[in-house]
Structure 1
């Protein structure tokens, strides 16, 4: 597959993009050669002709090209169709690699040139904080109380197999080497051969999974990103930040920052709608996490020991270090004058014993002798500190400040647990569980049948006594027994790995005080809550997801904080309450605009309630990869939060394919982690950055939201036949069959939109290129707003876009979504609807709203075209979409054959391959 480097007519590509074009051309050429060698000249010629026509169609809108392209694509037999799909899918994957590398290359160029700090860097954030009047004491106070935590989830929008991903990583490494080094002719030949091998491996590797992923598979996939990025990039980020602070002010010399940036995970603890997450699975996930981090420590201790050949006649040692040496099992006469090596041999032996004691895991390299295990990660750190202090005291600070410093930071951040694993379950399950416990202990209480006030009274009475409600002599249902065992497994994790292993229990679909108290009761049953002492060992986190739940969130928390019994438990948690906000389900419930506005208002109200009760609020944002699920640039999203909503602490989910795009490369990963930290610092210390809004802006937003909500609900929930239209005009059925996650796509066995999970809902609209969840209702809202207020009101909307970060970010995200939509392609998916009356009743509404939303967006922003304000994404779309459109065309044709009853397995496989390819081309599709 070749790739044209010609710029669009009338446009000259800037020189800085020349390396990107060269990389794309190189990868396209290698892919084309592979296609020709593996499938023959006819296959290559077909793909090449399709490519040329697709590019011509995008540049010229040629009717002739459109007809010829359609004729070729429609005439493909099953085998050739799959070859074409794989070729265009792999080109999207390879283009993604080239773009990621180009971002790294441009970042390095800025750093080498000594450019001013970039937006989203900690250096610029610190500079702005100091310019804003915050001294070093204020910065120290921020870091002491801060928490920034990206939380990895296993939500199934990552369609790539890990084998495919590994081959792509090889391509990325080879490209990166070429960009950093001037290769000799022999080295260049080796690099070319390596690229050809990697692309051939891609071509010969099965794209699709044969079996659905298990939870253990999902845990293993999630852990791979610790190897790629987190275990190495996080310690380096802390070290760089400490050095920058010390350079700016001697106040920071010899000081170490608190571990404010830490990882979280849901993988193996998220039970909401996933029957495969059991107590045993939870224990296994914790064990896998612990094993991974201790293996990292063992390797680092081994390497440090190998490097530390310091001789006692040439460097001094502290008394504490001598005691470590005396306990060491290393008795080799060849190292008797190398105290640091011998001390580290003892550290390694104790760490190996810890792996055995905690997880029954054997170190890859055997220790030199038996030593007792560490009781905790703090004990391990204490011995590393002895080594560090001895080096510092004896003129070896440079040595202490290298690999040893990074290992010490890793131990502080990751402990023996690696990441805090959240538990999550639906409130309905908790109700059934608590009801069964009460019925077994006090028949006739009828907990589930009581009103909210009655439930609260019953729960408070039970929470006041240390007596357990459950009994080992009662046979509970599988569901209730499973819930009790999960909480017991959490207590075991605390005893084994420390309380940082499981800190949060999240309640999906929370809508009342009783939802929180139910979890408190289950925690008490497992020993995680001790009534006499008033101590609670976990954070109980309500998740407000629907529009109604968001509107009631502040009232719910107000009533909860007013309960003396709950306040006593909060005191044991430092008066810190975490609340999670659901972006995905609120969007599916009320549409893009209303979801964003209700989330904003809920945060404002929660901040006020927490302040009134003297509670420190921490918000957890359940954002997905796409705008329809709360996605978008993290920096802008954090700064767009209401004033006071960040308060130095934020947790954000990282989901699906976004995890790979953000964290598979250590440089890109470190940059994304830095962005989260920088935005949190700015939003906390520079509240003006969040934008104080005038009453007329709030009133305008309220009106826009009301109109958008009505338009969205009218379409999705009140239009007869819309559910049928959705299921027939998208690939929702076929997505449900993809083996991309352990979780079912729907909460219940129905086709109702209410029961469908938000992820396949958004994923389906992305595949058909309509992207409905990211814009629908906006055009109608603006039209109705202007009809009420007159055309002069457009100036108010423009001021809101210019001066209000929330509104500006909302429109920027919608701009991105609309730019990835294609109404012509969406129309072809509409043709899949069997009933022409239904199709004619709904698609024209979609098309009209799509156009109205674009018109409104351009009018407010002042852009001539979509993405004028985002030239990087505009360039990316220009480069990749000619390769994406044929995939959609083939997907439609294969769907027609499949739904007409064609049973050939190649047809279904082809559909699944197109889903993979379209997702790769869009990048954030779920």
Structure 2
């Protein structure tokens, strides 16, 4: 501990220091403690190698000769320890930054650090005209709908994440100015203890997580953050709506957030997600929701110790207590003894018992649905308010009401996703049993035939004979069961991947008719348009689908509310980031126009990822760049992998993220914003066409190089990513070792692999050719200022290039053995960087984002060092001939991949 005794802070002076310095203090403290742990563990030689590596990357640029000298002589086991030490450092830096953001938000910002102003600034004043509050009525129409997915981009093990949470807790204790020197010393001791645990914890998963593991991971996010975040968000919205003193009157803000999930429901490409997994997932979610609600109702109820003399209950509340005493006399007697003459408390304690009964499946005492629980809570509110206890009525009790309204008994709205080709194969099997169908394969895509089956039903003799067909039908039966058990909101959306024709959409309803007959089933089919061609044809497909009688009947039953999903991952992989961005904008504009013609209330579901090549970047800025009419107060988006924990790992950070998203959605719907966006899109329509053509040509010239997919696999850890066991889903669609096709590579590992090569191709490739083809710097600068879409595109490219490294990318690409691919990537990288800086009128990347630039710079040296380790491991692994050597170098590679992912953060 002697090495750390000087790390005790003078909290009085520390609080007065610039925010950036306080972050640097935390990072320095953690690094010194980590160094001490390494020495104590007998890994002092590892520490020396790490220092040599960092010395080689300090200053203006990495000294690759020194980097090689520091690593080339090390054996695999030594290099694995070096990679592990660097990875631990990244985790600690990320933790320090996360805590720092929370500190800045809580303190209201630091005027001496302009980079933190956006994070600290209240997001709500961006709405409407300056000085005017938000119209409360707008919240009735507003809907913010994050959907958690299990897409495998979070490289950390849960054990590592748990250790980091404990370290963060000890940092909070150490940083608390109210604690004395003795307590701070205890916190330092516990910090070093937890760092030792982290160092000795295996960073690689030994088994692939099951879908159930993924569900439990998501439950921790709800438990730790989301359930607590929602009431705080709504209180913040009340202040924005001009409520002078929230919590003293009925709320003016309707609950506008809904959480969805694909975890346990997304079976597209994941054979491990079955109907039984989906059924169990629904049960796990309900158990979580009811457990939390039971505790919350009990907790709030026990605070309502207002006696009947000071706060007389309403007649309705007295009647409710009388009815409860008849329904459950033993409980009523016990509650009356423990809460004498406290009627409001008694009602909520009865409600808590009924929630527990619902959780246990005790039908006689259970609530039939969340509406019944809400009725009891509102009855208590109205009685309290009538007696003059307004704060008790609309304080914590209102928080509880908001939680029930938001999460119900189901927690998150579980969605099913399946590939259209799976439905077509099952329908072909089933239609083969129907006379006069002709070719069952062609009939499986015949929208008119499928519409008739969905409407009139199937012949009685048709049945599922294959395991695949039984599984598809059982999934639909589980959806029907869930709605009977937990209500329509629990599970009712069915996303169809690769929706390419009307038959792909009506197929789900036809299969549902065979699965459940005429039993009640609310089934909202959500088409997913992903590739460039599918996005261009999206409204044509919807027109054909809308004309079908089964579609019109369903649309009438849901007040013509339609959801359409657009995919960012495959579209970018298909046509490149620039064309994908422009194509997505065009598709969304046409979808909004289609909805207007059809009288549809359209919700666009954005399949964004965390990476810069999958629609990542600041979500609130991307919202403001959407086409006019495409948001219309509704925003639904996927949240996956490392993004879930980055945005929702802390209540304060999660609240601010959702505040910014909400404010952006409200602002995007204003007439002024829509008029500006429309005018800019019209003004720069020709520019968009030229950018699209040039970028698409450059991108296709790259990916059409013969053997391109094999080159990517050889020059990156693409194949090895699957061995990180980040998720239950397989990494790619086929098992070919050579002759890979671009379509065979899943979009997420594709982006993840490119980030590891330090080229980050999916985030920027083709932009340089596009800007150069236009050639008019003045025009491009004007467009970057006035056209939000181009501004957002340049922002993503700038961040992506800032996390790239040309020299390291060249060394990785050389492993692929294709001089043409290497030349095209590096030439386009140079061209893009040059033109991007010119258009942005900057000398360096991120010059206008000093906070972001500092965060990247703080990691760059460590990431470069780990990339060199990864290069050595890739070379040795490719050359190894015996299994022992292969296994040893594969471990080095995977630890390095894990560390680079932690260092770059938005990798997949």
Match of 2:893 among 898, 911, 919: 911
Cα–Cα, structure 1 residues 469 and 522, in superposed 2: closer, same or farther, change >3 Å? Answer: farther
Q: Distance in 2 between matches of 1:512 and 1:242?
A: 44
Task: Say whether residues 1:394 and 2:397 are aligned partners.
Answer: no
Equivalent in 603, 610, 622 of residue 595 of structure 2: 610
TM-superposed deviation, 1:424: 0.6
> 1:881, 1:313 → 2: CA distance?
67
**Structure 1 stretches lacking a partner, 5+ long:** 6-12, 359-369, 787-792
2:712 paired residue among 719, 726, 744: 726
Deviation at 1:741, TM superposition (A): 0.7
Higher mean alpha-carbon deviation, 702-711 vs 632-641, is at 702-711
User: What does the per-residue CA deviation read over 1:76-111, in whole Å, with 9 as the maximum and x for residues that have no partner?
Assistant: 222221211111101111101111111222222227
**Residue among 690, 698, 721 paired with 1:711:** 698
Q: 2:645 aligns with which of 651, 656, 660?
A: 660
Pairwise CA distance, 1:721:
2.7
The whole-number CA distance in structure 2 between the counterparts of 1:348 and 1:595 is: 51
Partner of 1:764: 753
Output the CA distance in 1 between the equivalents of 2:388 and 2:701.
73
Provide the rounded CA distance (Å) in 2 between the counterparts of 1:168 and 1:133. 43
Offset of residue 310 of structure 1: 3.0
Q: Does 1:43 align with 2:38?
A: no
* 1:357 matches 2:361: yes
Q: CA deviation at 1:311?
A: 3.2
Map of 2:35 onto structure 1: 32
User: Which residue of structure 2 lines up, in the alignment, with residue 745 of structure 1?
Assistant: 731
Counterpart in the other structure of 1:651: 636
Q: Which residue of 1 aligns with 2:688?
A: 701
CA distance in 2, matches of 1:87, 1:38: 12
With over 3 angstroms needed to count, the CA separation of the structure-2 counterparts of 1:81 and 1:120, relative to structure 1, is closer
2:11 matched to which residue of 1?
none
Aligned equivalents of 1:127 and 1:841: distance in 2? 48
1:18 aligns with 2:57: no
Q: 1:43 and 1:470 mapped to 2: Cα distance?
A: 71
Structure 1 residues 250 and 692, CA, compared in 2 at 3 Å: closer, same or farther? farther
Matches within 5 A, 1:308-323: 308-323=304-319
1:221 correspondence with 2:223? no
2:403 corresponds to which residue? Answer: 410
Q: Distance in 2 between matches of 1:162 and 1:560?
A: 43
Deviation at 1:120, TM superposition (A): 8.6
CA distance in 2, matches of 1:124, 1:36: 46
CA distance in 2, matches of 1:688, 1:121: 29
Measured in 2, the distance between the counterparts of 1:513 and 1:622 equals 21
Please list the CA deviations of residues 191-218 of structure 1 after superposition, one character each: whole Å capped at 9, or x if unmatched. Answer: 1122112212211211111111100011
Q: Are residues 410 and 196 of structure 1, via their aligned partners in 2, closer, same or farther at CA, if it must alter by over 3 Å?
A: same
* 1:522 Cα offset (Å): 2.0
1:411 to partner: Cα distance: 0.5
Structure 1 SS opposite 2:602: strand
C-alpha displacement at 1:126, in angstroms? 5.9
Identify the residue that residue 101 of structure 1 maps to in structure 2: 99
SS at 2:842's partner residue? Answer: coil
Q: How much does 1:469 deviate?
A: 4.8
Alignment of 1:637 with 2:643, yes or no, is: no
Q: CA deviation at 1:462?
A: 2.1
Query: Could you tell me which residue of structure 1 aligns to residue 449 of structure 2?
Result: 458
Contact in 2 for aligned 1:122/1:675 (Cα 8 Å): no
TM-score by length of 2: 0.92
How many angstroms apart in 1 are the aligned matches of 2:790 and 2:476?
Answer: 42
Alignment of 1:26-425 (within 5 A): 26-51=29-54, 53-54=55-56, 57-61=57-61, 63=63, 66-110=64-108, 124-125=123-124, 128-131=127-130, 136=135, 139-140=136-137, 142-247=138-243, 254-326=250-322, 327=324, 329-332=331-334, 333-357=337-361, 372-425=365-418
Q: 1:583 aligns with which of 546, 568, 574?
A: 568
Select which of 478, 484, 503 maps to 1:489: 478
Aligned counterparts of 2:904 and 2:111: Cα–Cα separation in 1: 33
After TM superposition, give the deviation of residue 441 of structure 1 in Å: 3.1
Equivalent residue of 2:153, what SS? Answer: coil
User: 1:252 offset after TM fit, Å?
Assistant: 11
> For each residue in 1:330-360, what CA deviation from the matched residue of structure 2 results, as whole angstroms up to 9, or x when unmatched?
43435333333333332122111100118xx
Once residues 408 and 175 of structure 1 are traced to their aligned partners in structure 2, the CA distance between those partners, rounded to angstroms, is 34
Q: CA deviation at 1:673?
A: 1.4
SS at match of 2:527: strand
Specify the SS of the correspondent of 1:507.
strand
Distance (whole Å) between structure 2 residues aligned to residue 538 and residue 853 of structure 1: 46
Q: Aligned-pair distance for 1:729?
A: 0.4
8 Å CA contact retained: 1:543, 1:581:
yes
Greater CA deviation, 112-121 or 260-269?
112-121
Match of 2:878 in 1: 899
The residue matched to 2:146 in structure 1 has which SS? strand
What SS class does the counterpart of residue 448 from structure 2 fall into? helix
CA deviation profile, 1:493-537 (whole Å, cap 9, x unmatched)? 00000000113111100111111111121233344878xxxx972
Shift of 1:247: 2.3
In the alignment, which residue of structure 1 is the partner of 2:328?
A: none
> Conserved in 2, the CA contact under 8 Å of 1:121 and 1:674?
no
Partners of 1:285 and 1:451 lie apart in 2 by: 30
Q: CA deviation at 1:489?
A: 0.5
Deviation string, structure 1 residues 828-866 (Cα, Å, up to 9, x no partner): 212323x4xx2x222122111100011111111111111
Give the Cα separation in 2 of the matches to 1:252 and 1:316. 18
1:886 aligns with 2:888: no
Query: 2:826 matched to 1:847?
Result: yes
Q: How far did 1:243 drift? A: 4.4
- Return closer, same or farther for 1:118/1:26 CA change in 2, 3 Å cut-off: closer
- The number of residue pairs the alignment matches comes to 880
CA contact (8 A) 2:134 2:241 kept: no
Q: Distance in 1 between matches of 2:544 and 2:180?
A: 71
Quote the offset at 1:667 in angstroms. Answer: 0.7
RMSD over aligned Cα atoms? 2.8
Please give the alpha-carbon distance, in whole angstroms, between the structure 1 residues aligned to 2:109 and 2:742: 49
Q: Which moved more, 1:818-827 or 1:38-47?
A: 38-47
Matches within 5 A, 1:802-817: 802-817=785-800
Q: Name the CA distance, whole Å, in 2 between partners of 1:264 and 1:341.
A: 33
Alpha-carbon contact 1:819-1:867 (below 8 Å) kept: yes
Q: Is the 8 A contact 2:208 2:727 kept in 1?
A: yes
Structure 1 match to 2:902: 920
Three-state SS of the structure 2 residue aligned to 1:740 is coil
**Aligned partners of 1:427 and 1:509 also within 8 Å:** yes
Q: Does 1:672 align with 2:675?
A: no
Q: Give the Cα–Cα distance (whole angstroms) in 2 for the partners of residues 300 and 322 of structure 1.
A: 23
8 Å CA contact 1:470–1:525 kept in 2: the answer is no
Give 3-state SS (helix, strand or coil) of 2:409's partner.
Answer: coil
How many angstroms does 1:174 deviate by? 2.6
Q: Which runs of 5+ in 2 are unaligned?
A: 8-15, 326-330
Q: Distance in 1 between matches of 2:459 and 2:661?
A: 43
SS of the equivalent of 1:503 reads: strand
1:858 and 2:825 correspond: no
Aligned position for 2:12: none
User: Which range moved further: 151-160 or 701-710?
Assistant: 701-710
For residues 299-327 of structure 1, give each alpha carbon's deviation from its aligned partner in whole angstroms, at most 9, with x where no partner exists.
Answer: 11222233333333443222333344442
Contact 1:218/1:741 (8 A) holds in 2: yes
Q: 1:413-444 CA distances to partner (integer Å, 9 max, x unpaired)? A: 00010011111111111111222222223364
> How far apart in 1 are the matches of 2:229 and 2:485?
27
Could you state the TM-score of these two structures normalised by the residue count of structure 1?
0.90
